[in-house]
A and B are shown apart, each in its own frame.
Chain A
Amino acid sequence: KAGVTQTPRYLIKTRGQQVTLSCSPISGHRSVSWYQQTPGQGLQFLFEYFSETQRNKGNFPGRFSGRQFSNSRSEMNVSTLELGDSALYLCASSLGGREEVFGSGTRLTVV
């Protein structure tokens, strides 16, 4: 069956702009989590959605937001981009938050 699909794979944005990343989970998975990976901070949890509701949230500013649709697809949005937002953004889906399956990520570069 198809894995977790993240689009786009690469993105270059300018400071101050906003960006939306998309994640399609494995069919049947209702939980979607987002992570940010940078060389300095490593892998950090952003938020988790389950059945269209945010279930968990990490320690990120309000510029980072997300949502989940009725088909479990999820989007995350970052507004007023800063250079420090440059990172690999990973999405993971699971049946109930135990063993998460990750997508290939979206590499965001802010210039």
Chain B
Amino acid sequence: SQQGEEDPQALSIQEGENATMNCSYKTSINNLQWYRQNSGRGLVHLILIRSNEREKHSGRLRVTLDTSKKSSSLLITASRAADTASYFCATHNQGGKLIFGQGTELSVKP
């Protein structure tokens, strides 16, 4: 079963708008990671947030983590057409395996 579940499954916005994706997970975590995947290619690591952190920024990316709700969100500000991709959250389970959610497919229209 998936450790992380993303919401929404698909998101379509205009360039310049903000995009927010949510992720929920089931068990306690040490950290949570977000990845991007373009057109069925390899995954690109975006950001890692530790369980004792509540918010983290990287460029136009802002990630929040609420361990009490077992949820995280990824915000992309001022989106660009190049941000069109699938976004996945991932956590390590107790055995150390990296478990991914089903992903959010983001489409940014120029």
In the complex, the answer to whether B45 meets A99 with C-beta atoms within 8 Å is yes
* Beta-carbon contact of A45 and B99 below 8 Å: yes
Q: B103 touching A42 by the CB < 8 A rule?
A: yes
Assembly CA distance A11 to B42 (angstroms): 16
A99-B45, A103-B42 as given contacts; A55 in contact with B96, CB under 8 Å: yes
Check: A17 CB closer than 8 A to any chain B CB: no
B41 touches A105 (CB 8 A): yes
CA distance A77 to B29 in the complex (A): 31
Classify chain B's interface size: 20 to 34
Give chain B interface residues in 80-102, CB to chain A under 8 Å.
88, 92, 95-102
Q: B-side binding surface: helix, strand, loop or mixed?
A: strand
> By the criterion CB–CB under 8 Å, are A101 and B41 in contact?
no
Q: How far is the CB of A103 from chain B (nearest CB, A)?
A: 5
Q: Contacts A42-B2, A42-B102; is A48 near B41 (CB within 8 Å)?
A: no
Are B42's CB and A102's CB within 8 A? yes
The main secondary structure of chain A at its interface with chain B is strand
Query: Is the CB of B110 closer than 8 A to any CB of chain A?
Result: no
Task: Tell me how far the C-beta of A37 lies from the nearest C-beta in chain B, rounded to whole angstroms.
Answer: 8
- The distance in angstroms between the C-alpha atoms of A4 and B42, with both chains bound, is 10
Which 4 pairs across A and B sit closest by C-beta, in order of nearness?
Answer: A43-B100, A102-B42, A102-B43, A104-B42
Q: A35-B100, A42-B100, A56-B95 are in contact. List 13 more A-B contacts (CB 8 A).
A: A42-B101, A42-B102, A43-B103, A56-B96, A58-B97, A90-B42, A97-B96, A98-B48, A99-B45, A100-B98, A102-B44, A103-B42, A105-B41
**Which residues of A are at the interface with B, using a C-beta cutoff of 8 A?**
4, 6, 33, 35, 37, 42-43, 45, 48, 55-56, 58, 88, 90, 92, 97-105, 107
